[in-house]
Amino acid sequence: MSRSMFDDLETERSAQFESADARTLRLAAHPLTPEELESLVRYQEAFLTHGEQPSLGHEALSTSHQRGLEASGMKDVRVVEQGLSLLRAYCGQRWTARKIASRLPELDEEKASKARDELRRLEDMEPLARRYGQEVIDLLRQNEDRLLALHIRMQKLLSGT
């Protein structure tokens, strides 16, 4: 007998359920335009310009955020935060895929096989496209190198490394 009535439940999510969930999330997502992407890039550049200064105190992040908002020209903070969330999701997935691809030659065959499986999963942009729209993913792909460079800098700043 199970310790809990939930122990025997199948917890793996079906593709149909995930697809419906993504469609629901897409309805709530703000559609990113090329102009808004440029505003988000200006936000990140201003944030980093201020935040990467070595002599800043404990208020550096809030000031960096404020400077980023001013540089972006965007009035709706919610739209900025949704856009940054999208950029983190996309760039995190693409950075990880690039990192795995660059390490493949160093791995033995068993690890390389697992890494190739993970790489195939990471290179599949369909889940993000379902959530944000294929047009948005295409826009991000067109700007990928620039976005990844900002993402890497932002992660270094925020993680303190």
Sorting pLDDT into bands at 50, 70 and 90, what band is 21? Answer: low
Question: Is residue 6, in this structure, part of any structural domain at all?
Answer: no
Question: Is residue 99, in this structure, part of any structural domain at all?
Answer: yes
Can you give the residue range of the structural domain that contains 152?
Answer: 33-51+58-159
SS (H, E, C) the chain: CCCCCCCCCCCCCCHHHHHHHHHHHHHHCCCCCHHHHHHHHHHHHHHHHHHCCCCCCCCHHHHHHHHHHHHHCCCCHHHHHHHHHHHHHHHHHHHHHHHHHHHHHHCCHHHHHHHHHHHHHHHCCHHHHHHHCHHHHHHHHHCHHHHHHHHHHHHHHHHCC
pTM across the whole model = 0.81
| pLDDT above 60 for 1 | no
48-97 pLDDT tens trace: 999 998 877 667 888 999 999 999 999 899 999 999 999 999 999 999 99
Question: Is residue 139, in this structure, part of any structural domain at all?
Answer: yes
Question: Is residue 70, in this structure, part of any structural domain at all?
Answer: yes
Question: Is residue 154, in this structure, part of any structural domain at all?
Answer: yes
Question: Is residue 13, in this structure, part of any structural domain at all?
Answer: no
Mean of pLDDT values over 130-139: 94
Question: Is residue 38, in this structure, part of any structural domain at all?
Answer: yes
Question: Is residue 1, in this structure, part of any structural domain at all?
Answer: no
| Domain count across the chain | 1
